[in-house]
Chain A
């Protein structure tokens, strides 16, 4: 199994530029999550999808952030325009259908974003 695949692994961009982070979940998984990790706030849930449908986007910090999942094998997280405070590690994760008890969430290696 290839695991959750994220790209790019590292990105440095200038303030005001658009940033697009990409994710390929584990094949067969129904859930896809986007988390952001910073020293101050830890791991924050931004948004998650079930069967390609956004379920909860209450963690998305503001309108500059958007996420899409056009099909079961691809998702994007977009920041437009980017700001220095968006600098963080962005993790994509996926999981199979919850059977009532919760299932393991598998994380990608993360996209390290620096906005200067």
Chain B
């Protein structure tokens, strides 16, 4: 099945710096790659996603890049702020004949220090 690897597991940056989180996946059939942010005590929330027919997508300070050949995708957060501190998860779609689901990476705990 799909295996999603995520690095680093923890990341500490100073406010205003950029943060980059990288993921790799194993199933070449995966075609949907969302990123989720999870704050303490809450469920994961989608922050950005990318589909396999696109190489890059940007939404304000957040961008995601996808390299299908190499089977890796990355999350880039620019001008980080303390409120960006959270756990971030990447995911890749897994499909069967009857439906689809998401497999998640192990998460990256991001700390933005003022």
- Could you say which residues of chain B place their CB within 8 Å of the CB of A107? 36, 43-45
Query: Is A50 part of the binding interface, using a Cβ–Cβ cutoff of 8 Å?
Result: yes
Which of A31, A56, A91, A104 is B34 in contact with, Cβ under 8 Å? A104
Is the Cβ of A101 less than 8 Å from the Cβ of B106? no
Q: Complex Cα distance A102/B93, Å?
A: 7
Tell me the minimal C-beta distance from B56 to chain A in angstroms.
16
If A43-B104, A55-B98 touch, whether A102 touches B51 (CB-CB below 8 Å) is yes
Shortest Cβ gap from A112 to chain B (Å): 9
How distant is B24 from chain A, measured CB to nearest CB, in Å? 15
Contact B96 A110 (CB under 8 A): no
Interface centre among A35, A105, A107, A110 (most CB of B within 10 A): A105
Q: Dominant SS at the B interface?
A: strand
A102 adjacent to B32 (CB under 8 Å): yes
Q: Mark A12-54, 1 if CB is under 8 A from B, else 0.
A: 0000000000000000000101010000001101001010010
Does B89 count as interface, using CB distance less than 8 angstroms? yes
Interface residue count for B (Cβ, 8 Å)?
Answer: 26
Q: How many A-B contacts are there with CB distance less than 8 Å?
A: 67
Residues 8-53 of B contacting A (Cβ, < 8 Å)? 31-32, 34, 36, 41-46, 49, 51-52
Which residues of the partner chain B approach A50 to less than 8 Å between Cβ atoms?
98-99
The majority secondary structure among interface residues of chain A is strand
**Judging by beta carbons under 8 Å apart, are B99 and A43 in contact?**
no
Known: A102-B51, A104-B34, A105-B34. A45 touches B99 (CB 8 A): no
Q: Out of B96, B98, B102, B106, name the residue touching A105 (CB < 8 Å).
A: B102
A-B contact list, 10 entries, CB within 8 Å:
A42-B89, A45-B102, A56-B101, A91-B44, A101-B51, A102-B31, A102-B49, A104-B49, A105-B102, A107-B44
